[in-house]
Amino acid sequence: MDVTIEPLHCGTLTSGRSMFEAGATDDPITIPVPSWLIRHPKGLVLVDCGMHGDLAGPSDYLELVSMFFGVGIEPGQLIGDALGRVEVDPADIDVVVLSHLHFDHAGGLSQIPNATVVVQADEWAAGGDDDLVAANSFVATDYRLGHAIVEADGEHDLFGDGLVTCIPTPGHTPGHQSVRVRLADREVVLCGDCAYFEETLNGGALPPVGHDAEQQARSIAALEAMRTAGALLIPGHDPDTFAALPSRLA
């Protein structure tokens, strides 16, 4: 069995483009919220898990998020339902890799009951520090749920065979990570929010708010080096890139 990646559509967020790119206009842009199912011979891996179920209808949580984003979650776009569409029981997910702890990446974790969660140690530490939680707009109830946690310290090979590897790309948050996947004939890097858009990977503006812009720029340079070496980079929230993806990358 070869390793495969299936993009899962877990809703949308809408805000002025200036929220995502410093110096941009306030014209609204709607971005996808993706999750990624990786099928590996040794287990099922989910990279990020979309938004919390409370955002699918009226709730205090939705009221809070709606101060910044228009949330779009259609029926079937919560992660549990999205997995069901590809005939995977959420209880059968072995590993959840969180690129970082923001609500649109960690919020669906409550729907994945049995997985071990892999997160960079710096990110997990920040998620337990009240000041950094506030500074990074984390929601602790998204991710402090009692899952088994693996705190990765740098590159982390999930199965020891080089096929699925967490790559530190900090800056957007203290311990952001991307994920490199070696398919049968190519290498794919799921960039997460290190790079929102394709333009970000081509020298475009970074978001106006983040943990450390200089660190993020260095992380983007590292991603660009992987692309130069032949990898396919998939930015975290690019509408056109996501819409053009096949249902399975193999």
Q: The domain that contains 227 carries what CATH number?
A: 3.60.15.10
103-131 CB burial, b ≥16 within 10 A, e <16 = bbbbbbbbbbeebebbbbbbbbebbeeee
Number of domains into which the chain is organized: 1
Q: Domain range spanning residue 97?
A: 4-244
User: Is residue 250 in a domain?
Assistant: no
Q: How confident is the model at residue 66 (pLDDT cuts 50, 70, 90)?
A: very high
User: Is residue 165 in a domain?
Assistant: yes
User: Is residue 93 in a domain?
Assistant: yes
Mean pLDDT value of segment 53-77: 97
How many other CB atoms are found less than 10 A from the CB of residue 147? 17
Q: How many angstroms from the chain centroid is the CA of residue 40?
A: 19
What pLDDT score does 76 carry?
Answer: 95
Residue type, 215: Q
How many other CB atoms are found less than 10 A from the CB of residue 76? 13
C-alpha to C-alpha distances, 194 to 1, 66, 110, 155, nearest whole angstrom = 30, 23, 24, 16
What is the Cα gyration radius of the chain? 17
User: Is residue 35 in a domain?
Assistant: yes
Helices (H), the chain: 60-65, 79-85, 103-106, 121-126, 130-135, 140-143, 198-201, 213-228, 239-244
Q: What is the pLDDT of residues 167-221, one digit of tens each?
A: 999 999 999 999 999 999 999 999 999 999 999 999 999 999 999 999 999 999 9
Burial of 101 (0-12, 13-18, 19+ CB in 10 A): buried
| The two three-digit tokens of residue 76, written as one number | 């079937």
Q: What is the pLDDT of residues 208-226, one digit of tens each?
A: 999 999 999 999 999 999 9
Using CA of residue 211, residue 192, residue 72, residue 79, what is the dihedral sign?
A: negative
- Mean pLDDT, the chain, integer: 97
Distance, in Å, from the CA atom of 138 to the CA atom of 143, rounded to the nearest integer, reads 9
Scanning the structure block, which residue is given the tokens 């790559």? Answer: 167
pTM exceeding the 0.85 threshold for the entire prediction: yes
Q: Say if residue 1's pLDDT is above 80.
A: no
What pLDDT score does 174 carry?
Answer: 98
